[in-house]
Amino acid sequence: MTAPPPVPSVPPLIRWTGLLFVIGSALFMLGVPLSLTTAIPALVSAVTFAVGAVFFTTAAFLQLLLAQRELPESERRVIPFFRGKTSDWSSAAVQFVGTLLFNVNTIRAAVLIGADPSVIDREVWVPDAVGSALFLISSVIAMVPEVRARRHAHVYTRSWTIAALNLAGSVLFGLSAIGAYLIKSSGEPVNLAWANVGTFLGGLCFLIGAALFGWPARTTARAEPAAP
């Protein structure tokens, strides 16, 4: 009988990054059905989203550390924000800022439940929209072969799938942000279905991508080719 291929050795930092993204994504998904039931106070779903955003931010910070490891030792300490030495670092940095805005968005949403629509749009929707845009920019950069080669060397056979899932998740989060904008005259969102479906399916895409990133298949790791 032929022995199965060895499981690649995956650094703990990669495992933790994948795990924290999985948990954050699951909490964003859970927040959607919680927000749709009247049997549970609105604060419960708001807190669920807020905790999920904290997991996202922690995972994004670890992703930034992983990208920084690729830099020469002399360049790792002080890096101006828009002058990352690799596209991987730039993608991770933009994503990290986006997660910070999701923290602002979700915490304010919990605090401002029932507030005037104009206040919600300014204090909650704006950071949500900007954070979603940054996630989309980060995901587009992450499609570049150089980034995927650095980021996914331990899961090279899944690189394109992971990058595509993250891009799809970012698009869906953007759709969610558009749908969540409150119309001032009525106080109703542009499209509640867009907001909920975008959040749920976006979270699902990120969850699957993170699971594929953190838990490689039973194949020997090697560097990914330069082009997909």
> pLDDT digits over 60-79, tens only?
999 999 988 766 666 665 55
Distances (CA, A) of 114 to 69, 77, 110, 145, 152: 45, 44, 10, 45, 43
- Structure confidence by residue, pLDDT tens digits, 161-202: 999 999 999 999 999 999 989 888 777 888 989 999 999 999
Which among 97, 27, 106 is positioned nearest to 64, based on CA atoms? 97
Output the pLDDT for position 185: 77
Say yes or no to pLDDT of 81 above 70: no
- Structure confidence by residue, pLDDT tens digits, 98-111: 999 999 999 988 88
| Separation CA 201–CA 38 (nearest Å) | 22
Q: Which residue has the higher pLDDT, 149 or 70?
A: 149
Structure tokens at 40: 């549970």
| pTM given for the model | 0.85
Q: Helices 159-180 and 192-214 meet at what angle, rounded to 10? A: 160
Of all residues in the chain, the percent with pLDDT exceeding 90 is: 58
